[in-house]
Chains A and B, each alone.
Chain A
Amino acid sequence: MAFVLGIDIGSAASKGILLNDQGMQASYECPSGGDFKLTAERIKKELLSQTQKSEKEISRTVATGYGSTLVAFADEVKPDMVCHGKGVSSLLPSVRTVIDVGDLYTKVLHIDGHGSMHNFLLSGKCAGGSGRILQVIAKVLHVKVEEIGELSLKSKKRIDFSTGCAVFAESEAISRLSQEVTKEDLLAGLHRALAAQINSLVERIGVEQDVAMVGGGARDVGLVQALKEVRNQDILVPPNPHMTAALGAALIAMEGLKDKIET
């Protein structure tokens, strides 16, 4: 039985999925660290260890993400948006617009029923409107980044957070804390400001229904809720939304394998 590997080396976190024609066999994620080559090797090793497989049994590997070109053992490198499209479509076939809130960028893409991308838009070089701001604030508030979504939903009096800039957000948060604003209200305000920025990107390209949110930002329930409120519409979130690019990469690897067999 053929196994394929999809590997997503992101700027903050890296993920891998081992797949065969029965479905997903193993998944793994870890911080990307400073050495992307080493991280890729680590992911492969971990997935093989989980499934008790050997390297020779992996028939094809597709790499994606910020550090994808450094994955020396990859057979193919694909843009992460292409992989997100494939991954989301396999989990939520009705989705036509995907919002990926990553560490450094937010991306919006339109896909067809097969997960093929036919238009997209990225946020600019500035990290404003991306997930990085959430990590910055988590550090300021001394909370884990995984906790900020739930905290935000407990807000009773959301503040107006004036910036979506990752740099200015830190100083604004500190000054708000000195005014005795609660963590919950501050986070709700931040989520709303971030959601507004993401929404302006979404509006630039337009929306085709259904809409899904993926990437690390989609694990933050507070941010998802804020975006739903700003857009006044439902937004689907697949299980493990941060893994969809790795999943898509694995699916593309599987497709590549089939093409190879057919030819």
Chain B
Amino acid sequence: MADEKKEVKPKKRMTATQAAASIGPMVKEFITGTLRARAEGKQKIAYTFIVCHHEEIFRAMDVVPVWTENFAGICGAKRDAERFLQRAESLGLSRSLCTYALCGIGFDQWREELGQMPPDAPWGGQVRPDFMISSGQILCDPRSKWYQASQQFMPDVPIYNIDLPYPLFQRDRDHRDVWDYYHQYIVKQLRGLVTFLEEQTKKKMDYDRLRELVDLSDRTWNLIEETYDLRKAVPCPMGTGDAMNTMVPINFMMATQQAYDFFVNLKKELEEKIAKGEGEVENEKYRLMWGGGLPAWFALTDFNYFNSKGASFPVETTYRMVAPLNQMDIPETKDPIEHLAWRWLGYWTFWYDKAKKRPGSEPDVERLINRIEEYKIDGVVMHEAFSCRTWHVGLIWQLHQLAKIYKPIPVFVTGKGGKKEKIYRELPSLILESDIIDITSYSEVDTKNKIDAFIETLESIRLNRAA
């Protein structure tokens, strides 16, 4: 059997905002809450995935969601994932599969084998569910396969799968030509989920409550946009390191008053910082964008290393899973399920129209370009987490396309005849490589060497930039 010793505790990342610092206890309470719910037995507990636009349905039915990706991330951040990954490997699963899934499957197998939580389980452990809601959406493959594997150890726990497609980008087609079909299909999927939950909880859906929760979520979406827009300020008051904390209410607590209040407070804190001219770093020299990839949860202190070089991260694409609702061209409806389906489609097609207007662009690249301009970005950092195949594949391509169609940096070069010429270069980029929670893929020395070289590149560009 695998070595089941715990790993060395990581150093804590320094946060720029009080709001980000408050997230740790919040997540801990969230995990404790699931354990409490299990002990009390009054509410049903469901394993499920983030970014499925179904939180409102769960909360309206008083179902407690257990975000299994979140628990794996916690194990990673606490550098306590390896023993669960090794468990999964000993079951014959490859390390090259999604390590979130491996961690969760390894944990479930161990818990079921013992009939209790594994020893020293992070924050009390991941509670046994009453049912599992998987998702066949396009975001990533483990969303439909993970729970099937876990079900081997919990054969009495049913799985319900919801399918959440969206029309793919086609330059010569308007996605609105087909999205009614998608909408009808998604509405059916979500209604099917309601029926499943009604069967499991022996309760009927309260649609007035659902409507209220959807409205609360919508208001939270808009508030998040307003709050994150404040990070355009120079110096930037909050960076991506903090955003990897503040992603918690966005992704795990949507449709709760707590999430809304969190962003009210964060917005106030950022406004105060801006008024005082306080930045994430004391002397902001470079403004970077986290252009994609899930972070290495065990190495979030790398953001502090960037900060120590005068680099701030005003914006990221990862985990900003909201878009301004007032800019979405979606039909109005009083039916909350129909609205959820429209919001889903509005979110995933948000950049389509803009991308069509720029030759060679695509929605993901267009989003990068818009963020670069809005947040005055000097360079792009991405993280290739080897086990996160969905992100990994697209990142390199996005950078290629970005470099090809977007060259914002004017520099003088000496041409072939010895004459000085003004040309435009692409933004410099850095690709960090490791994993979301598999620490064996990570080298601190290499990462810091790469960051050092990248900072030198930014400095060289800053000095050579043509006026």
State whether A78 touches B456 (Cβ < 8 A): yes
**B 421-452 binary contact with A (CB < 8 Å = 1; else 0):** 00001101101011000000111011001101
Residue B403 interfacial (CB < 8 Å): yes
- Complex Cα spacing A119 to B458, Å: 9
What are 19 A-B contacts with C-beta separation under 8 Å? A78-B456, A82-B456, A82-B460, A112-B411, A112-B464, A114-B464, A116-B460, A117-B453, A117-B457, A118-B411, A118-B428, A119-B426, A119-B428, A120-B453, A120-B454, A121-B431, A122-B449, A125-B446, A204-B396
Choose among B403, B453, B454 the residue that contacts A206 (Cβ–Cβ < 8 A): B403
- Complex Cα spacing A116 to B456, Å: 9
Residue numbers in B under 8 Å from A80 (CB-CB): 449
- Complex Cα spacing A114 to B450, Å: 21
Q: Which residue of B lies closest to A96 (CB)?
A: B413
Residue numbers in B under 8 Å from A82 (CB-CB): 453, 456, 460
State whether B443 touches A125 (Cβ < 8 A): yes
Centre residue among B414, B454, B457 by max chain A CB count within 10 A: B457
Residue B369 interfacial (CB < 8 Å): no
Residue numbers in B under 8 Å from A239 (CB-CB): none
Residue numbers in A under 8 Å from B431 (CB-CB): 121
Residues 136-186 of A at the B interface (beta carbon under 8 Å) = none
**A69 CB to nearest chain B CB (Å):** 9
State whether B456 touches A117 (Cβ < 8 A): yes
- Complex Cα spacing A82 to B449, Å: 11
Residue numbers in B under 8 Å from A114 (CB-CB): 464
Known: A79-B453, A122-B450, A204-B396. 15 other contacts (CB 8 A): A78-B456, A79-B449, A80-B449, A82-B453, A82-B456, A114-B464, A116-B463, A118-B461, A120-B453, A120-B457, A122-B449, A124-B433, A125-B433, A125-B442, A125-B443
State whether B414 touches A118 (Cβ < 8 A): no
State whether A116 touches B464 (Cβ < 8 A): yes
Residue numbers in A under 8 Å from B443 (CB-CB): 125
State whether B452 touches A79 (Cβ < 8 A): yes
Residue numbers in B under 8 Å from A116 (CB-CB): 460, 463-464
How many A-B contacts at CB < 8 Å in the complex?
53
**A 121-140 binary contact with B (CB < 8 Å = 1; else 0):** 11011000000000000000
State whether A118 touches B453 (Cβ < 8 A): no
Residue numbers in A under 8 Å from B464 (CB-CB): 112, 114, 116, 118
Interface of B is mostly: helix
Q: Which residue of A lies closest to B463 (CB)?
A: A116
**B287 CB to nearest chain A CB (Å):** 17
Q: Which residue of A lies closest to B431 (CB)?
A: A121
- Complex Cα spacing A42 to B385, Å: 40
Centre residue among B396, B429, B449, B463 by max chain A CB count within 10 A: B449
Q: Which residue of A lies closest to B379 (CB)?
A: A119
- Complex Cα spacing A41 to B446, Å: 24
**B48 CB to nearest chain A CB (Å):** 33
Centre residue among A79, A81, A82, A114 by max chain B CB count within 10 A: A79
Choose among B396, B450, B460 the residue that contacts A118 (Cβ–Cβ < 8 A): B460
State whether B456 touches A118 (Cβ < 8 A): no
Residue numbers in A under 8 Å from B457 (CB-CB): 117-120
- Complex Cα spacing A57 to B347, Å: 65
Residue A33 interfacial (CB < 8 Å): no
Contact A118-B433, Cβ < 8 Å, known A78-B456, A79-B453: no
Residue numbers in A under 8 Å from B414 (CB-CB): 113
Q: Which residue of A lies closest to B461 (CB)?
A: A118
State whether B460 touches A117 (Cβ < 8 A): yes
Contact A119-B396, Cβ < 8 Å, known A79-B453, A81-B453: no
Q: Which residue of B lies closest to A79 (CB)?
A: B453
Residue numbers in A under 8 Å from B461 (CB-CB): 118
- Complex Cα spacing A119 to B464, Å: 14
Q: Which residue of A lies closest to B442 (CB)?
A: A125
Centre residue among A80, A114, A124 by max chain B CB count within 10 A: A124
- Complex Cα spacing A116 to B414, Å: 13
- Complex Cα spacing A82 to B453, Å: 7
In the A-B complex, the 6 residue pairs with the smallest Cβ-Cβ separation, listed nearest first, are A79-B453, A116-B460, A79-B452, A124-B433, A82-B456, A81-B453
